Each structure stands twice: as C-alpha cells, then as structure tokens.
Amino acid sequence: MAAALAAFERTLIALDSPYDRFRAGDGAALSDDARQGASLFVSHGCAACHAGRDLTDERYHQLGPAEARDPGLSEKTGNAKDAGRFRTPPLRNVAVTGPWWHDGSARTLEEAVRRHRLALPEMAMPSLLAFLDSLTDRAFLTDPRFAMPDRACGKRL
C-alpha cells in the first residue's frame, strides 16, 4: 500500500506554472504585476526562506508572538527554544491551498503574507499576490487523472 501510494505521489508534478514558463524563457508568461512581485519577493527577503525550486528552505522559523503560543517544533523536540517554530511551507499552488498558516487561521493569502510582520509597503501587496498566483499550475489542478473518482471500492463517491 505504501509503495503504491508513493508511486502515485511521484506522478504529482506541478512544475508548469506561469512562473516556471517565465523562468524557462517565456517572457510573456508573467503579467507586469507578477513580474514586479517576483522582484519584490526577492528584495523584501521572502526568498531568503521561500527558496529554491519549491520555494522553501525546509527550515523552521519563529515568525511572531502568536506563533510563540503554539508549541510548533518543540512539541517534537521537547526543546523550549523550538516553541512557535514552524517549517517554511513550499509556495507552489499556494493561491489555491487556503486557508493558510499551519493552523488554517489565515483566511486570505494577503493575511498570510501580513502575518510575517515584515515591513512591507502597502503598494507592494497587489504585486506580491499576483506573483504568488503565478505559482499556480492550473493544468495540473484540472488534470482529470488526479480528479476525485466517481467510484471507489465499489461505492459511489
């Protein structure tokens, strides 16, 4: 069962977002807004943690006081210094995976970005959100091979 699930999961590849096409050389794949958002993402330090192909450094960070009330990594390590530390989530398809934050408490993507308590100029938000949306691989999301089946184990779903 585990091997079958792992084999299935290896087929779930979502690397054809507008952002991927842009990086592959298609200059028209991103809107001006999303392109500006991509550079703000780097200049405002987002890319320091949301790095690499899947936009995560795979590390744990404590972003603010609300998180400090939540045990986070310390629940696993037993180390008080790990209280409120959470792993940087990958951002692929993030625009369609709400509610956001480790506990689903951010109801909008904008709120999830604001929770970081970084000094972001108000005018940066629309471009950042356009950039985050450009990480969505819509062909992957609508691929019938990954849709909910009509039936499973002899039952209608």
Which residues in this chain contact ligand HEC in the complex, by CB under 6 A? 41, 44-46, 48-50, 61, 63, 67, 86, 88-89, 91, 94, 97, 100-102, 109, 112-113, 116, 118, 120, 128, 132
- Of 13 and 119, the one with the shorter C-beta distance to ligand HEC is 119
- Of 22 and 90, the one with the shorter C-beta distance to ligand HEC is 90
**Shortest CB 38 distance to ligand HEC, Å:** 11
- Of 54 and 151, the one with the shorter C-beta distance to ligand HEC is 54
> String of b and e for 4-32 (b: at least 16 CB within 10 Å)?
eeeeeeeeeebeebbbbbbeeeeeebbee
Residue 131: partners with Cβ closer than 8 Å, 6 or more residues away: 19, 33, 34, 35, 36, 37, 38, 40, 41
- Of 7 and 30, the one with the shorter C-beta distance to ligand HEC is 30
**Shortest CB 108 distance to ligand HEC, Å:** 10
- Of 79 and 108, the one with the shorter C-beta distance to ligand HEC is 108
CA dist 152 and 99 (Å) reads 28
**Shortest CB 99 distance to ligand HEC, Å:** 8
Tell me the backbone φ, ψ of residue 23, rounded to 5 degrees.
-65, -25
> String of b and e for 142-155 (b: at least 16 CB within 10 Å)?
eeeeeeeeeeeeee
**Shortest CB 90 distance to ligand HEC, Å:** 8
**Shortest CB 104 distance to ligand HEC, Å:** 8
